[in-house]
Structure 1
Amino acid sequence: MPLLEEEILHCEGCGVKLQMEDPLKLGYVPEQALQKIPVICQRCFRIKHYNEMSSATLNQDDFLRMLGSIGHTKSLVIHIVDLFDFEGSLIGGLQRFIGNNPVLLVVNKIDLLPKVTNWNKLHNWVQKQAKENGLKTEGIVLVSAKKNIGFDRLLRMVEEQRKGRDIYVVGATNVGKSTLINNLIRDFSDLEGELTTSSYPGTTLDLIKIPLDDGKSIIDTPGIVYKHRLTELVDKADLRYVLPDKPLKPMVYQLNEKQTLFFGALARFDFVKGERQSFTCYMSNAIAIHRTKLDNADKLYEEHRGELLQPPSSDKIDALPPFTRYPVRVAKGSRTDILISGLGWIKVNGEAGADIEVHVPKGVKIAVRTSLI
């Protein structure tokens, strides 16, 4: 039976309006599930209990409309980004959408970096990158939502900056937004249950308001789907290979010019010209790296993609867009990373300069930056 207007409920997992008419549409909930607390839709139930995949996401216009509504409020904005994919997960032009509201930049997944990382240098690196991307912040916090690292400092900064306002949390998909908010809920709210967390994009589908003890709210926004991130293009079953879930083990390769590295069948790195030097690869340890001669690279890819070179496997390889080539010139004396959005980055260790070509599925973002580590 349909829910009456005064009985309209929203899923406490993803925020979508609940309905009992059509099991194939978003927001479906069996009648008996309405008696449970918290009330969540069938989709969230399956993600939460069975880690089941879902293809339901909002389109880009809906995301931008929700983001634009923040500019008409007086709020504190927490912008969470993924350190593993900093340039790929940063929301471009955020200030344009949120007006004069203050921003805290929360950089998640620091647990993926080696333990010897200099955190002060990392903080300065983030500050510089944010400024170069036109993002004004009231503060930067390095955290691991998964490991609960840096959370005390975040709480202190939220208290300092909030000044009795609502808190909007914004970010791209798969940056750890829901995990972060669940931690905030435990400190600021008596709400039962928690948001749906999953490694699959589009888990949150509408604004979710979590009431705070002072009458204000934390508002979770849907994760923005950026198609320039490789994580949005691979088959969902392959996300477990691409998204690292443990500290990275950097792989160092000494390359002569005219040598190539393949990262599964997801990307290709050609050292075209330069003195012999080392390159350090920072990416999921589940990605197999293969080295070959540049002259053999085209043939190796054509004959072994989806087999020797995987992920993706042979039955999924054709779903990826064809490779596009990006030339990169690394200047002498520079400390340079080449980021492949959603896959990781390659650090150029030599100071002699290098001519490089990166091949990635069409549309995937490549960023050349000052080395993170």
Structure 2
Amino acid sequence: MDEEIKCIGCGSTLQSEDPEKSGYLPASALKKARENEDSEVYCQRCFRLRHYNEIMPVKENNDDFLALLNSIGEKDNALVVNVVDLFDFSNSLIPSLKRFIGKNEFVIVGNKIDLFPKNTKESKVKDWMRQEANRNGLDPKKIFLVSAAKKRNLDSLIDFLAKEGKNKDIYFVGTTNVGKSTLINAILSARSDLKDLITTSKFPGTTLDAIKIPLSDGHYLIDTPGILSKNQLASHLSGKELEMVEPKKPLKPATYQLKPGQTLFLAGLGRFDFLEGEPAGFTVYAARDLYIHRTKLSNADEFYQKHKDDLLLPPSPEDDLGEMKGQMFSPKEKSDILFGGVGFITVPKDVVVKAYTPDGIGLGIRRALI
């Protein structure tokens, strides 16, 4: 049996089986490391951090992540940054966060604001985020809206971290696929002092794969593994399917004039039935590549069964998703019906609608943001 070799950057055991797990190193490089016992070896993730200032996301065991969160609660000098996906806010928020981090302060950073239409009022988005956080028993010190990919709105977040995070370890936490590592990379590229530290320092870490980036005050900016949530649609789809579902450009609204008794399908990931109310326009906000189909409610079940494995993809038959489950909504004001991870449909007041997703994942309602 081959002897275990540890990455000198994060402490993870080097392995060549799974690129998405900690300690990954291509087989040829791992073989060379075993042949040269005196060499100091970095895993691929630490190598790219050290030489290219790039943090690669990694999937870890949820028990390890929860143990790491618990360790934050034992500190009295930490600042926690919970990064969430604005298109799946409820399921990417960590509702038990406060219980884990103790008396340490935390902020919530909503990522992917660049994908909302240009006429979106950021103040309304922040109000909604705070209401949802409060509903989950969370009271963040501050809320930020950013685009990690487009490096938008970073200055205010960086200024806050520089001031409030002084003489503290700063932990970035979040579920998978929220853009946490992309955000940290964007912050690092905007701060030349951090880039200099990365290229000259080793990265102390643990087998939990928490990458600790040294700061000039002797503390650390710490990237933690993303926690896998079964309530997130992204955790059930393949990479190819996520490419179809996740928006890449600002959402382009598509308005459908519907009468009661009509149904919209958002591929096979969402179904929307208009049950009662006056004929009206319903505006869909979803990725441009996502297939949307309108049909009669009376034909909807038959259409779904006939086309769930061809037209209504994703999901594919291989995906670990349950049967469609629905929820009724009767908004008294203009509202957004949420299909977490897919998008939302803006509906007028005084209608009765029913929305479905596989196993009911990500369903919700909010006052219309746009």
Classify the TM-score, shorter chain: 0.7 to 0.9
For 1:111 and 1:42, the matched residues in 2 are separated by 27
Q: Does 1:115 align with 2:118?
A: yes
CA contact (8 A) 2:335 2:365 kept: yes
- Cα RMSD (Å): 3.0
Deviation at 1:134, TM superposition (A): 2.0
SS in 2 for 1:209: strand
SS in 2 for 1:192: helix
Name 1:372's counterpart in structure 2.
Answer: 369
Name 1:359's counterpart in structure 2.
Answer: 356
CA contact (8 A) 2:121 2:369 kept: no
SS in 2 for 1:84: coil
For 2:41 and 2:258, the matched residues in 1 are separated by 55
CA contact (8 A) 2:327 2:363 kept: no
CA contact (8 A) 1:114 1:248 kept: yes
Amino acid at match of 2:305: E
Q: 2:198 aligns with which of 165, 185, 191?
A: 191
Per the alignment, do residues 238 and 9 of structure 1 end up closer, same or farther by CA in structure 2, a change over 3 Å counting?
A: same
For 2:44 and 2:336, the matched residues in 1 are separated by 43
Aligned counterparts, 1:181-330, within 5 A: 181-186=184-189, 187=191, 188-189=193-194, 190-192=197-199, 206-312=209-315, 316-330=316-330
CA contact (8 A) 2:88 2:362 kept: no
Deviation at 1:160, TM superposition (A): 2.2
The 4+ residue runs of structure 1 with deviation greater than 3 A are 1-4, 31-38, 41-45
Name 1:167's counterpart in structure 2.
Answer: 170
For 2:265 and 2:216, the matched residues in 1 are separated by 52
Deviation at 1:113, TM superposition (A): 0.9
Deviation at 1:42, TM superposition (A): 8.5
SS in 2 for 1:130: helix
For 1:277 and 1:109, the matched residues in 2 are separated by 30
For 1:138 and 1:191, the matched residues in 2 are separated by 29
Name 1:201's counterpart in structure 2.
Answer: none
Name 2:90's counterpart in structure 1.
Answer: 87
Structure 2: gaps of 5 or more residues: 201-206
Structure 1: gaps of 5 or more residues: 194-203
Name 2:12's counterpart in structure 1.
Answer: 17
Per the alignment, do residues 110 and 38 of structure 1 end up closer, same or farther by CA in structure 2, a change over 3 Å counting?
A: farther
Deviation at 1:28, TM superposition (A): 4.5
Q: Residues 327-373 of structure 1: CA distance to partner in whole angstroms, max 9, x if unpaired?
A: 222233x232221221111111x22x222222211251312222222
Deviation at 1:248, TM superposition (A): 0.7
Deviation at 1:154, TM superposition (A): 0.6
SS in 1 for 2:311: coil
TM-score w.r.t. length of structure 1: 0.83
For 2:39 and 2:268, the matched residues in 1 are separated by 45
Name 2:203's counterpart in structure 1.
Answer: none
Give the count of matched residue pairs. Answer: 343
Amino acid at match of 1:18: T
CA contact (8 A) 1:231 1:343 kept: no
Residue identity (%): 41
For 1:176 and 1:18, the matched residues in 2 are separated by 25
For 1:302 and 1:261, the matched residues in 2 are separated by 15
Name 1:137's counterpart in structure 2.
Answer: 140
Per the alignment, do residues 230 and 217 of structure 1 end up closer, same or farther by CA in structure 2, a change over 3 Å counting?
A: same
CA contact (8 A) 2:210 2:225 kept: yes
Per the alignment, do residues 24 and 121 of structure 1 end up closer, same or farther by CA in structure 2, a change over 3 Å counting?
A: closer
Moved more, 22-31 or 119-128: 22-31
Per the alignment, do residues 270 and 363 of structure 1 end up closer, same or farther by CA in structure 2, a change over 3 Å counting?
A: closer
For 1:43 and 1:277, the matched residues in 2 are separated by 54
Deviation at 1:23, TM superposition (A): 3.2
For 2:41 and 2:114, the matched residues in 1 are separated by 31
CA contact (8 A) 2:12 2:208 kept: no
